[in-house]
C-alpha cells in the first residue's frame, strides 16, 4: 500500500495507460519478425540477438517516457531542442570525430551522432513554427520554414551523411506540405531539384557519384562498388514464392550478403521467407503507417497534427528507402529497416517517434472524452 492509502498500481496506472494498443501491437510484431531474421543473419556473429534485446528494452523505455510527455510540453521544448541540435551539428563540423572519411560524431566519453537527434528535432521545430503562424500562412512563412530545414540538412550533408539528410528532408518536407503547401508548388520544387542534378554532380564526393553510377549499372564493378546490390538482388530473387526456409538462406550463410544484420537485413528476410513473407511484412508497415495517419487525423491542434504526420512519414521513408536500396531501385545510402535492422541509435529514434505518436493519441482521447462530457451535459 502506497502513502495516502492508494495502492502503487493505481498510482502507476495513468502512466502505463499511455501506450496506444494498436500501435504497440504492430511495433511488437515488427520487432519479433526482426529478431527472428536477426537470429538467422547473425548465426556467425555471437551476441547479436542479446544486444538487440537490450536495445529493444531501452527503446521501449524511451517510448514510454516520450508517451508521458504532454504535447503542450513538446511544443514548449521544440525551439530549444532544435537550436541545441543545430549547435551540436556545428560542433561536429568544427571538432567532430572522423571515422571512415566522415565527420559525424562527438566524443564525450561516449560517441554521439547529433544528426540522429535532428530526425525528431526538425519536425518538432517546424510543427511549432507553423502553429505560431497559423493565422498567416503565406509565401514568406513557407520560405522561412524551408530555411529552417535547409540549415541542418546542409550541415548533415557536409559530414557527409546523405542517408540521414534524406530522412530529415522527408520529415521536414512532410510538415511543410501538411501545413498547406500546394501540390503544384511541391511538384515545381521537385522538378527544380531534378533539373539541378547536373549542376550538383561536380560537387558530389567520389563515393556519392559511384553510388549513382552503381544504381544505373551495378555490373560495371561487380566485385567492388556493385557487389552489395548484386548480391542482395540475387538473395531477394532466389527466395521465390515461399523462401528457402528460416536459417537456410545460402546468400546469407555463405557470407555473400554484406551488412546482413543491419542495412541489408531485408535481403536476408526475402531469401528465407520469399514473396509471401515480403507481402506480410509490407502489410505490417502499411498498418504502422495507417495507424500513424489515424492518430494525425484525430489530433486536436495544428501542432499535433503536423508532428504526428511527420513522425509517420519518417517510418514510411525509412521503409521505402531501405527496401528500395536493397532491391536496387534507389542508391545505397545506409538507412536501416525500421524495427528490424540491428542497431541501438536508430531504434531509439524510432522508439522516440512512436512515443510521441502515443502521447498525441493519449491526450487526443482525453480531449475527445472531455468534449463528449460537455456535449452530453449541455441539455441539462
Domain that holds residue 27: 20-365
pLDDT confidence tier of residue 333, bands split at 50, 70 and 90: confident
Please give the residue that has the higher pLDDT: either 199 or 25: 25
CB 335 within 8 A of CB 343: no
> Do the domain assignments include residue 379?
no
Whole-number pLDDT of residue 68: 92
CB 55 within 8 A of CB 7: no
Q: How many domains does the chain have?
A: 1
What sign does the CA torsion over 301, 302, 306, 309 have?
A: positive
> Do the domain assignments include residue 324?
yes
Quick: pLDDT tens for 46-78.
888 999 999 999 999 999 999 999 999 999 999
Phi then psi for residue 367, to 5 deg, are -65, -45
pLDDT at 358 over 90: yes
Segment holding 112, helix H or strand E: strand 110-112
Quick: pLDDT tens for 10-37.
666 666 678 899 999 999 999 999 999 9
Whole-number pLDDT of residue 256: 86
Whole-number pLDDT of residue 378: 34
Q: What is the C-alpha to C-alpha distance for residues 75 and 73, in angstroms, rounded to an integer?
A: 5
Please give the model's pTM, rounded to 2 decimal places. 0.87
> Do the domain assignments include residue 3?
no
> Do the domain assignments include residue 374?
no
What average pLDDT does the chain have?
A: 85
Instruction: Tell me what the mean pLDDT of segment 183-197 comes to.
Output: 76
Quick: pLDDT tens for 108-138.
766 678 888 898 999 999 999 999 887 677 8
> Do the domain assignments include residue 13?
no
**Inter-CA distances, 142 with 54, 237, 314, Å:** 42, 44, 21
pLDDT at 282 over 90: yes
> Do the domain assignments include residue 235?
yes
Strand partners, 106: 112
> Do the domain assignments include residue 37?
yes
Amino acid at each position: 500500500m502506497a502513502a495516502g492509502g492508494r495502492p502503487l498500481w493505481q498510482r502507476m496506472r495513468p502512466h502505463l495507460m499511455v501506450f496506444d494498443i494498436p500501435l504497440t501491437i504492430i511495433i511488437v510484431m515488427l520487432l519479433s519478425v526482426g529478431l527472428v531474421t536477426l537470429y538467422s543473419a547473425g548465426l556467425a556473429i555471437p551476441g547479436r540477438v542479446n544486444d538487440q534485446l537490450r536495445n529493444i528494452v531501452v527503446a521501449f523505455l524511451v517510448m514510454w517516457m516520450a508517451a508521458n510527455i504532454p504535447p503542450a510540453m513538446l511544443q514548449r521544448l521544440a525551439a530549444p531542442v532544435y537550436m541545441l541540435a543545430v549547435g551540436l551539428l556545428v560542433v561536429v563540423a568544427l571538432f567532430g570525430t572522423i571515422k571512415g572519411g566522415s565527420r559525424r560524431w562527438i566524443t564525450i566519453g561516449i560517441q554521439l551522432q547529433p544528426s540522429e537527434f535532428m530526425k525528431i528535432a526538425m519536425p518538432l521545430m517546424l510543427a511549432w513554427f507553423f502553429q505560431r503562424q497559423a493565422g498567416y500562412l503565406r509565401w514568406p512563412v513557407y520560405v522561412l520554414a524551408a530555411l529552417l530545414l535547409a540549415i541542418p540538412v546542409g550541415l548533415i550533408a557536409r559530414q557527409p551523411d546523405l542517408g540521414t539528410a534524406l530522412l530529415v528532408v522527408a520529415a521536414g518536407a512532410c510538415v511543410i506540405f501538411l501545413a498547406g503547401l500546394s501540390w503544384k508548388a511541391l511538384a515545381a520544387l521537385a522538378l527544380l531539384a531534378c533539373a539541378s542534378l547536373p549542376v550538383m554532380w561536380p560537387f558530389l564526393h567520389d563515393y556519392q557519384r559511384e553510388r549513382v553510377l552503381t544504381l544505373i549499372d551495378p555490373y560495371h564493378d561487380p566485385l567492388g562498388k556493385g557487389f552489395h546490390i548484386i548480391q542482395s538482388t540475387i538473395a531477394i530473387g532466389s527466395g521465390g514464392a515461399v523462401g528457402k526456409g528460416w536459417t537456410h538462406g545460402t546468400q546469407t550463410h555463405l557470407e555473400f550478403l554484406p551488412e546482413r544484420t543491419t542495412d541489408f537485413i531485408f535481403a536476408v528476410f526475402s531469401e528465407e521467407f520469399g514473396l509471401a513473407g515480403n507481402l506480410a511484412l509490407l502489410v505490417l508497415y502499411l498498418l504502422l503507417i495507417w495507424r500513424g495517419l489515424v492518430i494525425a487525423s484525430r489530433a486536436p491542434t495544428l501542432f499535433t497534427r503536423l508532428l504526428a504526420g511527420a513522425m509517420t512519414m519518417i517510418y514510411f521513408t525509412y521503409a521505402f528507402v531501405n527496401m528500395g536500396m536493397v532491391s536496387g531501385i534507389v542508391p545505397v545510402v545506409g538507412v536501416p529497416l525500421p524495427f528490424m535492422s540491428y542497431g541501438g541509435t536508430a531504434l531509439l529514434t524510432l522508439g522516440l517517434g512512436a512515443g510521441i505518436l502515443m502521447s498525441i493519441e493519449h491526450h487526443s482521447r482525453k480531449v475527445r472524452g472531455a468534449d463528449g462530457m460537455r456535449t452530453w451535459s449541455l441539455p441539462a
